């Protein structure tokens, strides 16, 4: 997946329309940005474009306004935070298309930054309306996609606009493609994958694809419930989604056929209710009380997982090992995060809750790559082509 990037085109004097992923959480009390990691992730591309003499027209969505203007989902607080990070004013507009946006883009001097209003205030964004995509394209000379987190969406600003402008990857998008694509295309061995999260059904294709590449697969979180049931173990009152044990059984059979070692929990932290204050204890997997539920992996399992991870040449992790939002059930996720920091190989954390966990645990800077994608990372791990990536120019194409 060798795509052209901002390094491959002449940017001096050009207006660059940059799709970023500024879908950040806002503080409910103040309306300010509560977590600016996604904004910071786009900084290298924005800075590079400015250094090369381009003017920068940023576009993003925020939340789910469902195609109408929602005042609380305007990008004003995002612009304020971005301005502070850049150390320069960021111009804003009341809409992402139309006369005001066009005038602001055309008047933008080299090195200046404009942030358009929320793309999803228009239903045409998510429907990938060609006319809307063309309106966006008319604001610039080149298109840069730096929003890997929305790369799996065939929207006007992620795929449609590439039909009207030379389209290249930003530096963040380049990094995501390089690490995730490289890891799956030519993995180093031993290759260990760690999967957690709630449901097997959400990750059936991920499991199938990884089982053709990995040496060892570690299963934790809610997913482990189905695998344990498929292995004939009781999981007490733990929730098991209909159909998941069948998916798990098929995965275990496929792993056996392909010679992949699957490590499941051998001990677990169980609780009498789903709450932060629940009574809890650690038991071997064969001794789960019938009315209690599994909320984390136990110390023996953590040790087994750590041993597999620290000896790997490549590790990909997606999904927490337990209900890490509750401190009593965060030890499994913490142990896996710490094991990744001790691994001498390449370590990749696959977005979403897992990225949130390593950020909160303070170990993100010790991991080779923390993906900014959630759904996009999962689809990448499934081996699917992402529309937002496919739309970019290939290296061999010199149109730009």
Adjacency order of strands within the sheet including 280-284: 280-284, 267-271, 293-297
CA pair distance 68, 381, nearest whole angstrom: 33
Q: Which residues are catalytic?
A: 38, 199, 352, 375
Contact 170, 144 (CB under 8 A): yes
Beta-carbon contacts of 101 under 8 Å, excluding residues fewer than 6 positions away, are 93, 95, 116, 117, 139
Contact 340, 367 (CB under 8 A): yes
- Closest by CA position to 295, among listed 217, 224, 354: 224
């Amino acid at each position: 997946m060798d795509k052209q990037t901002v390094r491959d085109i002449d940017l001096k004097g050009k207006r660059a329309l940059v799709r970023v992923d500024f879908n950040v959480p806002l503080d409910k009390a103040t309306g300010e940005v509560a977590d600016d990691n996604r904004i910071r992730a786009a900084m290298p591309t924005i800075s590079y474009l400015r250094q090369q003499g381009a003017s920068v027209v940023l576009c993003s969505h925020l939340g789910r306004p469902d195609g109408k203007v929602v005042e609380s989902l305007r990008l004003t607080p995002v612009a304020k935070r971005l301005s502070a990070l850049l150390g320069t004013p960021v111009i804003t507009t009341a809409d992402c298309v139309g006369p005001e946006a066009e005038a602001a883009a055309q008047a933008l001097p080299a090195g200046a930054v404009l942030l358009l209003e929320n793309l999803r205030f228009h239903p045409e964004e998510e429907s990938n309306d060609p006319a809307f995509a063309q309106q966006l394209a008319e604001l610039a000379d080149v298109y840069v996609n730096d929003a890997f987190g929305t790369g799996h969406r065939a929207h006007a600003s992620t795929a449609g606009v590439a039909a009207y402008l030379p389209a290249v990857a930003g530096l963040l998008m380049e990094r995501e493609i390089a690490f995730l694509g490289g890891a799956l295309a030519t993995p180093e061995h031993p290759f260990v994958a760690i999967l957690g999260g709630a449901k097997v059904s959400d990750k059936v294709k991920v499991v199938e694809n990884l089982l053709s590449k990995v040496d060892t697969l570690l299963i934790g979180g809610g997913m482990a419930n189905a695998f344990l049931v498929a292995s004939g173990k009781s999981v007490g009152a733990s929730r098991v989604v209909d159909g998941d044990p069948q998916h798990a059984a098929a995965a275990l059979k496929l792993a056996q056929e392909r010679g992949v070692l699957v490590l499941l929990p051998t001990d677990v932290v169980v609780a009498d209710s789903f709450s932060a204050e629940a009574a809890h204890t650690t038991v071997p997997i064969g001794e789960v009380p019938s009315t209690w539920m599994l909320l984390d992996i136990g110390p023996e399992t953590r040790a087994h997982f750590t041993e597999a991870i620290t000896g790997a040449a490549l590790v990909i992790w997606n999904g927490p090992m337990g209900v890490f939002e509750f401190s009593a059930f965060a030890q499994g996720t913490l142990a896996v995060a710490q094991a990744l920091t001790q691994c001498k190989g390449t370590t990749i954390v696959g977005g979403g809750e897992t990225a949130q966990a390593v950020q909160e645990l303070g170990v993100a800077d010790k991991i080779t790559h923390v993906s900014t994608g959630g759904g996009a990372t999962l689809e990448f791990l499934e081996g699917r082509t992402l529309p937002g990536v496919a739309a970019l120019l290939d290296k061999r194409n010199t149109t730009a």
